[in-house]
Amino acid sequence: MSEKKTMLSGIKPSGDLTLGSYLGAIKNWPARAEEFDCYYFMADMHAITVRQDPAALRRRTLEQLAQYIACGLDPEKNTLFIQSHVRQHAELGWVLNCYAMFGELSRMTQFKDKSAKNADNINGGLFTYPSLMAADILLYQPDFVPVGEDQKQHVELTRNIVQRFNGVYGDVFKMPEPYIPKVGARIMSLTNPAAKMSKSENEDTGRVTLMDSPAVIMKQFKRAVTDSDTERCVRYDPENKPGVANLMAIYAAVTGKSFAEIEAEFEGQGYGKFKPAVGEAVVETLRPIREETERLLADKAYLEGVYRAGAEKAAYVAEKTLRKVYKKIGFVAR
């Protein structure tokens, strides 16, 4: 039997995971373990390129780990760890800084965007974090890296670094391939259907998070934007009725019903019946995730066991790569 190929993915614990994160991506992750050897990490080192409240960062890091498990990522089948617990990330990150060109880093779209948003804190980490991201990837010699549109540029930079480094020192790093994940429903903001549901705190009016109570979820859906036309019918028309189409996409994703079935179910009933029905379906979908997350967060010893074991396995794999790199560039062995 052939060995599984390796896949790696990290998410910054800089905001609360939303219904959009779950239906758009995380819901599909557990099935990957059948096909790939998966590494998932909480990218806390990346989070500090923007100022974080320390207590909130700690809470979110553990909460994200618990939510991953509650969403079906079995720690026996997936390697789950906290980035800062594996020192090799920072060590290789520094080495790769020396193989990433200034011009390449300055062209990164996310650097430009984040510099504009954080004009009072344009720090060195914000500029060089793509080198750390390359280290995150290359330490585990993965075959695939799941990427959204906003991360393609970083994987391209990683591939440039691999080419440059291997060109000098031989076959050290495996060339990672971008993996376009199976995309779930694309969930938009409930108050602004033209924008994606955001996990940042200042966008909370149009979002539902995995930890929201049933009362909060129902309130969010009751005030969700629909449309201003006079027919007030539940019909899938993203161009003319984006708010209704977004609610239908959510309802379809959590119930498994087709748009035609949803249209038939709410024919002649208007939005007063439709919006609470979507809210209730979401409440029931998220209830087991929220309850399991709360149970896991109360069991600190279990969570600690998961992230310690994950870091131990990750560090073992990462150290093999780092040792090879250090030898190639001429560092004296430890």
Catalytic residues: 114, 196, 199
Residue 70: closest CA among 27, 128, 116, 119: 27
Show the tokens assigned to 28: 């599909």
> Which residue type, as a one-letter code, is found at position 44?
D
CB-based contact 234:271 (threshold 8 Å): yes
Tokens 């001429």 belong to 330
Angle, alpha carbons 237-243-249 (nearest 5°): 70
78 membership: H or E segment, kind and range: strand 78-82
Whole-angstrom CA distances from 293 to 31, 204, 216, 303 are 20, 21, 17, 11
CA–CA dist 148, 305 (Å, integer):
31
> Which residue type, as a one-letter code, is found at position 219?
K
CA–CA dist 196, 187 (Å, integer):
6
Show the tokens assigned to 25: 């991506």
Q: What is the DSSP string of 219-261?
A: HHHHT------SS------TTT-HHHHHHHHHHHHHH---HHH
Number of neighbours of residue 17 by Cβ within 10 angstroms:
23
Q: How many CA atoms lie within 13 A of 146 on its CB side?
A: 18
CB-based contact 178:149 (threshold 8 Å): no
CB-based contact 187:20 (threshold 8 Å): yes
